[in-house]
Structure 1
Amino acid sequence: MPTSDELATRAIGERIQNIRTRTGRTRAVVAGLVGRSEDWLRDVEKGRLQHPPALDMLLRIGQALGVRDLTEITGDHELLVGVSRRAGHPVVPAIRAAIEGVDLTPAPSPVDTVGLAARVQRAWRLWHTSATPRADAGAMLPGLIRDGRRAVRTLDGSERRAAAAALSGAYALSEQVLAWVADAPLLWLAADRCMSAAEIADDPVTLASASWVLGNVWRSTGREADAYRLMSDAIALLGPHLDGNRDAQALWGACQLHGAITAARIGREGDALHSIDQAMGIARALPPGSAHPWTLFGVANTEISAVSVQVDLRKSGSALDTASAVDPDTVPSIDRRARLWLELSRAYAQQRDWLGTLGALRTGTAVSQESMKCHPLARSLAAELVTHSGRLNERESRRLAAQLDVTA
């Protein structure tokens, strides 16, 4: 690893490449987070641009790379990236205020924990059934978080544990809403609060659910090995509670899927495929149509995860074959349905089949433009299409890039 003195002599592009490589981030993901193409970022890193990126773009690259001090990239003026807090969606500021705020005023009235839990479940249903899940579910979260925090602060015994379980669900949904559209510190705080509330609830299913959330954040910030171990621990925690407990069974399966995707991303093909098989076994044993309210674990979600695993293993042909057996209409989540088409577009892109990439990504955008616009892989693919799909598809590629707010 280069020393600080060695880095001081390097150009901006070299520093960016070194930080990206050191933190395990791919060009595709970083480019998608800043709304540019993978080729553009490669040109930045290789010093091929006539001028280095402007300061606002360097700030965005710094956030995507997870650096706090911008001098790691620029080598001069000390600028703290952490001061610039990302709000890539209108719901972020209100959710941030609810998570970060402190309210010490006495509670005006007792919080109805049964009603609170029902509201959290309603927000999760909105997340899965809306074509604009961040806007619709995100609008409910500030009130849920504030009421949940007040309930945990003021209640005792079983009522406090029930309130903590509901609050953990609200924080879990916050992690889903904030992913890719908020800065990493806020995402970390939401996941940490989710786990803290689950520990108060002291229930294996709630703890496993919070582990699933925390594992998402660990995996997306370069801690894949830690995320895999956490899922293994959650699976072991749920083991003694599987008999007759559908929630425990569904969470066990969801953690298997989480582990499968994580294993694929770190090249552990055998572990990834074994986890998919384990998840499918329990998914088929659950009653038809059943799905966990958070993770939507079931046969359809397992099939989508199997596609993701093949793509992450860079086995695009197997991914396309696996996807051909999936009926999109059986996927009980609009966001997950859009993700299926994103995975297909990734598989086509691996084969340099730009017409297939365009068609799949366009279909995913039609399912949920908000979901595709907020996902860095979709944005990166849209930028790649503009530069690689050829004259025949250029007009449609540029139209799709504009829909996703991407500048190629």
Structure 2
Amino acid sequence: MPTPDELAAKAIGERIQTIRTRTGRTRAVVAGLVGRSEDWLRDVEKGRLQHPPGLEMLLRIGQALGVRDLTEITGGHELLVGISRRAGHPVVPAIRAAIEGVDLTPAPSPIDTTELAARVERAWRLWHTSETPRADAGAMLPDLIRDGRRALRTLDGRDCRAAAAALSGAYALSEQVLAWVADAPLLWLAADRCMSAAEIADDPVTLAAASWVLGNVWRSTGREDDAYQLAADAVALLDSHLDGNQAAQALWGACQLHGAITAARIGREGDALRGIDQAMGMARALPAGSAHPWTLFGVANTEISAVSVQVDLRKSGGALDAASIIDPDAVPSVDRRARLWLELARAYAQQQDWLGTLGALRTGTSVSEESMRCHPLARSLVGELVSHGGRITERESRALAGRLGVTA
């Protein structure tokens, strides 16, 4: 976070830009989080708006930037405001209460760790198969987290480690559900508790899976180098556990994909492409139909990640070529299927092909409107469409913007 000296004498727009760049947030992501276009945020930062953002919008920008003291943005006298607790989806408050709460009451009956693990797996399956994954999987999480914490407190030995593995899975899913719709401190807490539970479980696969989760949070909050190293460490941890262990093999591949996407974000093209190649080799070696319940690692997810890598490297032609071989119906996760169309929209937008961008965004929204509505890149892109798509797409772009909750 910038120091007061760095912000001194700067206008509000300059302060927003300084905080955004210092915290590693892209203009597209911040614009999407506040429901406006990337061009609008650029105009705010450059002081070009005839009517600067009001207090309500400044609060939303503050939430997106992760600041607690609004004077970091406004300057002037101190004005401490509670803007750090963001709830961009109805499931967030209940999940927050389960994660942040302290419950010292004993469990009404002994908790069966096998059943607990099965419940966590059902929640993950719902996350991947529902068209409203946050609403449906998120509704299961508060009880899962509370029961997992009670089990961890009351069991010992092997049962305690089994409970810890299940609880790590519940925290991992909470990170997926909360991403982009909750504040950064809650995401950090979920990821940290996911890793803490994995350490108690003392299982390489669970530890690698928790690293995959924690790396997601690090990458989205400006710690890309740390996220890349964590993925590499998880791969190394699993290297000696791959023989005959499909869960370890799938996590090894998923961490390779994580590293590839992270490398692309920081411009390390060779490392990004190498990670995709390593992951694809493992995906093709796995038996057909096998998948880790969290990551659903396999050929289809690797192909989608290859598209993401090309987009992040700003090679839109390569992204479209990579996408041309994917069968969307073969993607086992609804949320990931929607993400495929979002990546295509990003590639088309890089080429300023606004008809292609509109078509991809509309298809992604038809796959999962909730997933697209919650992702800042989708929201930012639809704002760009309204601003730059021209008269031919204007009516449909504005209709889509309304569906995604964007004011362009």
TM beyond 0.5? yes
CA distance in 1, matches of 2:363, 2:119: 32
Which residue identity is paired with 1:64? A
2:249 match: 249
Q: Kindly indicate whether the alpha-carbon contact (under 8 Å) linking 1:63 and 1:81 is maintained by their aligned counterparts in 2.
A: no
CA distance in 1, matches of 2:95, 2:149: 13
2:182 match: 182
Q: Kindly indicate whether the alpha-carbon contact (under 8 Å) linking 1:175 and 1:190 is maintained by their aligned counterparts in 2.
A: yes
1:343 match: 343
2:368 match: 368
CA distance in 1, matches of 2:169, 2:151: 14
Q: Secondary structure at the match of 2:50?
A: coil
Q: What are the equivalent positions in structure 2 for 1:70-149 lying under 5 Å apart? A: 70-80=70-80, 82-149=82-149
Q: Kindly indicate whether the alpha-carbon contact (under 8 Å) linking 1:91 and 1:134 is maintained by their aligned counterparts in 2.
A: yes
1:357 match: 357
Instruction: Please report how far the alpha carbon of residue 24 of structure 1 lies from its aligned counterpart in structure 2 after TM superposition.
Output: 2.1
1:66-102 superposed Cα distances (whole Å, 9 cap, x missing partner): 2222111100242345554111001001101100110
1:276-317 superposed Cα distances (whole Å, 9 cap, x missing partner): 000000000000121111001000000000000000000000
Q: Kindly indicate whether the alpha-carbon contact (under 8 Å) linking 1:62 and 1:81 is maintained by their aligned counterparts in 2.
A: no
1:158-198 superposed Cα distances (whole Å, 9 cap, x missing partner): 00000000000000000000000001111110000100000
1:190-210 superposed Cα distances (whole Å, 9 cap, x missing partner): 000100000000000000000
1:339-361 superposed Cα distances (whole Å, 9 cap, x missing partner): 00000000000000000000000
1:7 match: 7
1:306 match: 306
Report whether the alignment pairs 1:316 with 2:322. no
Q: Secondary structure at the match of 1:349?
A: helix
CA distance in 2, matches of 1:82, 1:188: 18
Structure 1's 230 and 3: CA in aligned 2 closer, same or farther, altered over 3 A? closer
Instruction: Please report how far the alpha carbon of residue 3 of structure 1 lies from its aligned counterpart in structure 2 after TM superposition.
Output: 6.1
Instruction: Please report how far the alpha carbon of residue 245 of structure 1 lies from its aligned counterpart in structure 2 after TM superposition.
Output: 0.2
Which residue identity is paired with 2:212? W
Which residue identity is paired with 1:46? K
Report whether the alignment pairs 1:297 with 2:331. no
The two structures have a TM-score, normalised by structure 2, of: 0.98
CA distance in 1, matches of 2:220, 2:21: 15
The ranges of structure 1 where at least 4 consecutive aligned residues each deviate by more than 3 angstroms after the TM superposition are 79-84
CA distance in 1, matches of 2:93, 2:23: 28
CA distance in 2, matches of 1:346, 1:225: 24
CA distance in 2, matches of 1:6, 1:187: 27
Which residue identity is paired with 2:13? G
Which residue identity is paired with 2:141? L
Instruction: Please report how far the alpha carbon of residue 134 of structure 1 lies from its aligned counterpart in structure 2 after TM superposition.
Output: 0.3
Alignment RMSD, CA only? Answer: 1.2
Q: What are the equivalent positions in structure 2 for 1:198-347 lying under 5 Å apart? A: 198-347=198-347
CA distance in 2, matches of 1:375, 1:101: 27
Q: Kindly indicate whether the alpha-carbon contact (under 8 Å) linking 1:119 and 1:144 is maintained by their aligned counterparts in 2.
A: yes
Which residue identity is paired with 2:349? A
Structure 1's 248 and 78: CA in aligned 2 closer, same or farther, altered over 3 A? same
Q: Secondary structure at the match of 1:243?
A: coil
Name structure 1 gaps, 5 residues minimum.
none
Which residue identity is paired with 2:23? T
Moved more, 62-71 or 164-173: 62-71
CA distance in 2, matches of 1:188, 1:204: 22
Q: Secondary structure at the match of 2:293?
A: coil
Instruction: Please report how far the alpha carbon of residue 6 of structure 1 lies from its aligned counterpart in structure 2 after TM superposition.
Output: 5.5
Q: Kindly indicate whether the alpha-carbon contact (under 8 Å) linking 1:238 and 1:248 is maintained by their aligned counterparts in 2.
A: yes
Instruction: Please report how far the alpha carbon of residue 2 of structure 1 lies from its aligned counterpart in structure 2 after TM superposition.
Output: 7.8
Which residue identity is paired with 1:156? D
Instruction: Please report how far the alpha carbon of residue 65 of structure 1 lies from its aligned counterpart in structure 2 after TM superposition.
Output: 1.4
| Identical-residue share of aligned pairs (%) | 87
Q: How many residues align?
A: 408
Moved more, 10-19 or 363-372: 10-19
1:53 match: 53
Q: Kindly indicate whether the alpha-carbon contact (under 8 Å) linking 1:67 and 1:81 is maintained by their aligned counterparts in 2.
A: no
Q: Kindly indicate whether the alpha-carbon contact (under 8 Å) linking 2:172 and 2:190 is maintained by their aligned counterparts in 1.
A: yes
The two structures have a TM-score, normalised by structure 1, of: 0.98
Which residue identity is paired with 2:36? R
1:165 match: 165
Instruction: Please report how far the alpha carbon of residue 216 of structure 1 lies from its aligned counterpart in structure 2 after TM superposition.
Output: 0.3
Which residue identity is paired with 2:180? W
Q: Kindly indicate whether the alpha-carbon contact (under 8 Å) linking 1:95 and 1:142 is maintained by their aligned counterparts in 2.
A: yes
2:193 match: 193
Q: Secondary structure at the match of 1:295?
A: coil
CA distance in 2, matches of 1:124, 1:406: 29
1:236-286 superposed Cα distances (whole Å, 9 cap, x missing partner): 000000000000000000000000000000000000000000000000000
Which residue identity is paired with 2:320? L
CA distance in 1, matches of 2:5, 2:245: 58
1:402 match: 402
Q: Kindly indicate whether the alpha-carbon contact (under 8 Å) linking 2:168 and 2:193 is maintained by their aligned counterparts in 1.
A: yes
CA distance in 2, matches of 1:69, 1:44: 19
